[in-house]
Structure 1
């Protein structure tokens, strides 16, 4: 793409945002519409959107869960552009529209979407430009409130009935896992921790206000006291010298980035790690970061439930 074309497109999108002229939510979408409550206020969307663009991983999971294949999605930073727990059939044909938090507005516009899904944490700064392209539905944030966000996505996609079925199936699946682990009382007595080695940062222990914590809670699993140290309930960071703070009856660990730079290599070789009860009892399990941490939705959660039953059963 030439510099001249890029500048022309950017200017055109800026003009749309300022004037409110175009196909976006400043002008009413064509055909029958409904109103959705969003983090940016009430937004009119098509009753049955057909060309959906999603700009974060949770929004993509929601769409796939509800049987909607978006025409475009942002790149999740993987080789394929999508998180690995999604099958090739589920993501084939979806066009790359830039990176999460920095969508390529020209690429989004060229797809002629009739609905855009994202969240303020990623795209509040892009909202004016995005809504000039198509009705844009943002949730407040991502992660912990994923179930509430899913309801917003379902309302925007016109898939409330499908959403109800997905939620019911997930709850039944969680109950099945609880039973397989010996019932609610035994599950509660099993303290589980989630550790993430992060490139360029200290190791993260996930608190109770995180996506993965809600899945553990739905199974009824216990959590060790360290999770209550989490900042704002989200996570508690530990250095390699304090990794044993993360000990529990069972430990699941993932890595984001290069294992050496994330200190995973160093920590897993350390005496502190090897002396942890979960490690000594062979109850420490490597997990897929893309599924357990980045996925944020019911499709990812179903895979997590299966793995919890397999590893802890």
Structure 2
């Protein structure tokens, strides 16, 4: 009788032990990067170096940064996007116009976003004033391109999103392809002469140099600067057409802000300006109009950087 009792107790002990092991595995499901459970999280750093705990492979994402949106698209996880500033999408991201409108590109609709109950919100500089309020709704990741290191910070942002969605290998492959294209462009740019980048808005010009929002042309793509003294600022350095003639660039890159936001760009025909025609760029057909929606509304993503490379390559063809 005692032998039977011992056998029963042994079976019960083994059963309890197995149950205890299953319980330990369940508790680990909420730890960073250790489980495929729906409750798994990962801690990443945003562009300010702040650690943010976010869910892995989130299923409901609101994205305000178009560069991040095109990275998610390129990584094949765009179906997770449920909200964006749909009235300010560049043409190449028009397929996302069917998601919920989460507000303006500078002013998120907090009530709408709260209704959507996203798992993750991705923002950049234009929405930075709302970071605290958005963080109260869902984990909010601030990803921005650093003008002082445009390509390096872009890669960091791409890898951050890839880590969240488990797409690290795909991201690395696409980054490697872009770096090959950049190296080729940089070699050709060395013989292109001096370049000047201007933004035109209702006929008014602003110049952008190294370290600026469009500094990738100089800092990454390797075009020499027509003016070494341009002040790096968000809105650029206000200049005149006389200034453009004085600097006499061999290549003049033009970004039409008015066209990007859907305004009247009839005053923005930079290439037709008589002073511009007197520059080396004007004489040699090197006044290059860049895709305004890509350059002004986006940038810093896998798809937008490739579009930028193709755009700028017109100067060296």
Partner of 1:33: 41
Higher mean alpha-carbon deviation, 230-239 vs 52-61, is at 230-239
1:49 corresponds to 2:58: yes
CA distance 1:232–1:307, change in 2 (3 Å): closer
> What's the CA shift for 1:254?
2.2
For 1:214 and 1:105, how far apart are their aligned partners in 2? 33
Q: Which residue of 2 aligns with 1:273?
A: 276
Residue 136 (structure 2) aligns with: 132
Query: What's the CA shift for 1:148?
Result: 3.3
Larger radius of gyration: 2
Q: 1:153 to 1:227 in 2, by over 3 A?
A: farther
Contact 1:211 1:293 in 2 (8 A): no
Task: Tell me, yes or no, if structure 1 residue 74 matches structure 2 residue 85.
Answer: yes
Judge which range, 164-173 or 62-71, deviates more: 62-71
1:138 positional shift: 1.5
Partner of 1:312: 316
For the Cα contact (< 8 Å) 2:62–2:121, is it kept in 1?
yes
Distance change >3 Å, CA 243–CA 133, structure 1 → 2:
same
1:260 Cα deviation from its structure 2 partner: 6.4
Name the residue aligned to 2:11. none
User: For residues 234 and 163 of structure 1, do their structure 2 counterparts lie closer, same or farther at Cα, with a shift above 3 Å needed?
Assistant: farther
Aligned CA distance change for structure 1 residues 127 and 310 (closer, same or farther; 3 Å): closer
Partner of 2:23: none
Give the direction of change, closer, same or farther, for the CA distance of 1:241–1:281 in structure 2 (3 Å limit): same
In the alignment, the residues of structure 2 paired with residue 286 and residue 139 of structure 1 have an alpha-carbon distance, to the nearest angstrom, of 27
Cα distance in 1 for residues equivalent to 2:76 and 2:247: 38
Structure 1, unmatched stretches of 5+, are 1-28, 179-183
Report the TM-score when normalising by structure 1. Answer: 0.74
Give the aligned partner of residue 294 of structure 2.
291
Cα root mean square deviation, aligned: 3.0
CA contact (8 A) 2:44 2:160 kept: yes
Higher alpha-carbon deviation: 243-252 or 166-175: 243-252
Instruction: Give the unaligned 5+ runs of structure 2.
Output: 1-36
CA spacing shift, 1:155–1:310, aligned 2, 3 Å: same
- Structure 1 residue 216: Cα displacement: 4.8
Distance 1:52 1:218, change over 3 A: same
Pairing 1:179-258 to 2, within 5 Å after superposition: 184=187, 187-190=189-192, 191-199=194-202, 202-224=204-226, 226-231=227-232, 235-257=236-258
In structure 1, the residue corresponding to 2:85 is in which secondary structure?
A: strand
Q: Which has the higher contact order (CA 8 A, sep 6+)?
A: 1
Contact 1:142 1:149 in 2 (8 A): no
Tell me how far apart the structure 1 counterparts of residues 145 and 77 of structure 2 sit (CA, whole Å). 22
Partners in 1 of 2:56 and 2:160 — Cα distance? 14
User: Counterpart of 2:131 in 1: which secondary structure?
Assistant: helix
2:114 maps to 109
Shift in Å, 1:67? 2.2
2:67 is the alignment partner of 1:58 = yes
Give 1:87 deviation, angstroms.
5.3
In the TM superposition, what is the alpha-carbon distance from 1:170 to its structure 2 partner?
0.6
TM, length-normalised to structure 2: 0.73
